[in-house]
Chains A and B, each alone.
Chain A
């Protein structure tokens, strides 16, 4: 289902940063971590390790196929369920102004739409009241994974956790009560309403960005991860060809045989 609104920029771009490690505490790389030898303008060489590749695409397909197993497993491993993680929102209300209308969402209470005139709310509609039963029924089926499809790429999607809000003001057009599905997504930014949209007449979807949810591994898929490139200084007489061999050797010897290394410079660290 489409939700529209604007996607936060940060939620999809990997964040890169470089760390230059001092000689005394070089970076220790992991097996088969790709590295590059870089030289700066002054001729100082560095060995830079690229972050372990972020190929989430593969992970995603697996995720979608074995959802029920995966979910149950992780639920067990993780201490808290999404609802428990969201508990901290209890008693909080969020407001969003969108043109003529303003929306106020109070966690597990109600969602209302109103027009502000001189700081007073005129024209108010209740878009839904928290319905614990409906929510429980909706989330009961563990194998259902609810995701928002992200047009940024044909595979990208963001998982959300839903609460149902029903029994709002009656709608003239449909003669039914207004209802809203409140969707919580993981996002590094602060807690806020990221969008409100009308799925069909008088049925709404409100998306709430929530860093709290990021602690749950299932919701983390789309968060920006810090991809750190780690660089160690290399001695000036360093030769590229020796990279793999020399480092492997040093790794072994340094730990066991420190005296043997006395003839090495202090720069020759195992990394």
Chain B
């Protein structure tokens, strides 16, 4: 019995490693390596029960809280500026709020029209609101201080403003603070904040299925614009979208569902529109399209664009399940657990439904079963089993499962306490929270050619710790220069200011695993772009990139050894680096072959005329 358990565990974390590797490949590098130590040895039941009894009341899933609207989850968000239709009719609740939004509006206009005067007005309005204790204005001021817009860059002031804003309930400031703590390796502080943020994020997720990955689109590959990714994000102007829309109009149920999804989540650059989504889904269900039925169930359960109606939700979900659409069982189980839209709670039925989903490879089912076993709802509490379920669900990319696992690492229940790991997992989840709409707006602006707005939004996200945003913001600075509408200490950014900001952003991105960033920092020093030429620092930066297996960096290091730039002249090492470059990236074959050839000539015909002729001119 014991050996079986061991075998099962071993298999499970091979699964986990494989699964997480998948996540690693799709998401930006966050490599989780779980070892046997992480899975706690199973102590007798009673111990677990006692220690986690007090905690189970904190654990939200299936708790009594009603799901909050996005506005409540991310107060002070800039939604009214960027999605004015969705907030139509909401009047400011106080003078400070009015000032705040006016300030933000002016801030955004100033970067789209390129008017520093407007920015000054904006900052003074925001400051006034902040002095009045309005937390969201304090958050905005924190942003202005950290990035140094029309003021000196000041990390301490930024920290102070964010602290007050966070205390006042601003979630974005919490993100900024958590990220600051993370960078300072202050995990104890970071984990608390990220836990809170992740919890808020989770409550905004769908009940039954995983939201389609709202990708944070990377604007660039290497130094060039990523035309592919951008093409796919052009929203309603995109060809693919128009084709699908055409098909939907012609009565294709699958296409109707697709369009509905796009409007519901605001995918591919299309602005979210719950009303339109609803109408498309209704049309699709007339044709018996099961996925749309499930979504309708979701919509009625959440009250997204309609009045909440659990009975209808259950109806739609049941219909979907009758069509062998197993994901719907998740929603149904949920309703039975909470007792919504049914006569009374029925845990046995809930468990049945979740099992149905799980047995049919629906990750939501595994997740939900995990929760049942974790809290002992309708089953005997079994933290071990819950953990296994979560791991399976996490493998399938369920962010809520990551959340539960993070909690386990955080509290040390079911998994060995590991604060840094918990922090990392929480962060992954937190970054999918409602504040990630900033990403949508930024992309929209960029595609419309409003680079200034895009840069502003990416800068804000960068402050919140999003690696993709850091990389995007830095890339915009490098690529667009003045057109980025970067605001410096005294008006538009000078060249030096732009370089310094790009540099700092690249560095932050590189800390979070972006190996390309370190390469770019090296290039800036090597070519003297925006800073003095410094071969020593270039070499250091390339070394950093090399340690992240960046082939170009390896090649550059080889070159520098070959020519004694910033590194000692050493042909052996040069060859070694060239070889390494080729090993790491077969695409490098041509340049490496040429480089090796030149090395060979230099080595074997060191003093010949040919060498002096070829390299005498090239040596710098």
Contacts and interface: CB of A to CB of B under 8 A. Distances in A.
Given A13-B184, A40-B168, A41-B133, A2 B159 contact: no
B544 interface: yes
B34 interface: no
Contacts of B539: 2, 4
Contact of A149 (B131, B532, B536): B536
A26 interface: no
B543 A5 contact: yes
A213 interface: no
B160 A50 contact: yes
A153 B537 CA distance: 9
B167 A41 contact: yes
Given A2-B567, A41-B133, A151-B537, A224 B160 contact: no
A174 B571 CA distance: 11
Given A2-B536, A6-B547, A151-B540, A39 B159 contact: no
B183 A18 contact: no
Interface stretch (A80-88, A196-204, A244-252): A196-204
A50 B157 contact: yes
B550 interface: no
Nearest to A174: B572
Contacts of B159: 16, 18, 229
A150 B540 contact: yes
A7 B544 contact: yes
Interface in A1-59: 1-7, 9-10, 13-16, 18, 36-43, 48, 50-51
Interface in A101-130: none
B305 interface: no
A16 to B, nearest CB: 4
Contact of A39 (B133, B507, B566): B133
A203 to B, nearest CB: 8
Contacts, number: 115
Contacts of B585: none
B160 A13 contact: no
Interface residues of B, number: 49
Contacts of A200: 561, 567-570, 573
Given A173-B572, A201-B572, A36 B537 contact: no
A171 to B, nearest CB: 10
A216 interface: no
A36 B160 contact: yes
Interface string B539-559: 111011011000000000000
A149 to B, nearest CB: 5
A198 B569 CA distance: 12
A140 interface: no
A151 B521 contact: yes
Interface in B511-552: 511, 521-522, 525, 531-532, 534, 536-541, 543-544, 546-547
Contacts of B303: none
B87 to A, nearest CB: 22
Contact of B522 (A7, A40, A151, A229): A151
B169 A41 contact: yes
B614 interface: no
A2 B566 CA distance: 7
B540 A16 contact: no
Interface string B184-221: 11100000000000000000000000000000000000
Contacts of B157: 36, 50
Contact of B183 (A13, A39, A154, A174): A13
A50 B568 contact: no
A10 B135 CA distance: 29
Contacts of B131: 37, 39
A203 B132 CA distance: 62
Contacts of A37: 131
Contacts of A224: 184
Contacts of A174: 572
A190 interface: no
Interface residues of A, number: 43
B110 interface: no
Interface string A129-157: 00000000000000000001111111000
A227 interface: yes
A192 to B, nearest CB: 14
A152 to B, nearest CB: 6
Nearest to A156: B537
Contact of A40 (B155, B167, B569, B572): B167
Contacts of A150: 537, 540
A149 B535 CA distance: 10
Interface in B154-170: 154-157, 159-161, 163-164, 167-169
Contact of A38 (B155, B164, B522, B570): B164
B102 interface: no
B537 A40 contact: no
B47 to A, nearest CB: 32
A97 to B, nearest CB: 14
A82 B183 CA distance: 29
Contacts of B503: 153
B180 interface: yes
A248 B135 CA distance: 30
Interface in B329-348: none
A154 B532 contact: yes
A19 to B, nearest CB: 11
A207 B538 CA distance: 19
Interface in B496-516: 503, 507, 511
Given A151-B537, A197-B543, A200-B561, 8 more contacts: A2-B539, A2-B543, A4-B544, A13-B183, A13-B184, A50-B156, A151-B521, A174-B572
23 contacts: A1-B567, A2-B539, A2-B543, A3-B543, A9-B183, A16-B184, A36-B157, A38-B138, A38-B161, A41-B167, A41-B169, A42-B133, A149-B540, A151-B521, A151-B525, A152-B507, A153-B503, A174-B572, A197-B543, A199-B568, A201-B572, A201-B573, A227-B156
Interface of B: 131-133, 135, 138, 154-157, 159-161, 163-164, 167-169, 180, 183-186, 503, 507, 511, 521-522, 525, 531-532, 534, 536-541, 543-544, 546-547, 561, 566-570, 572-573
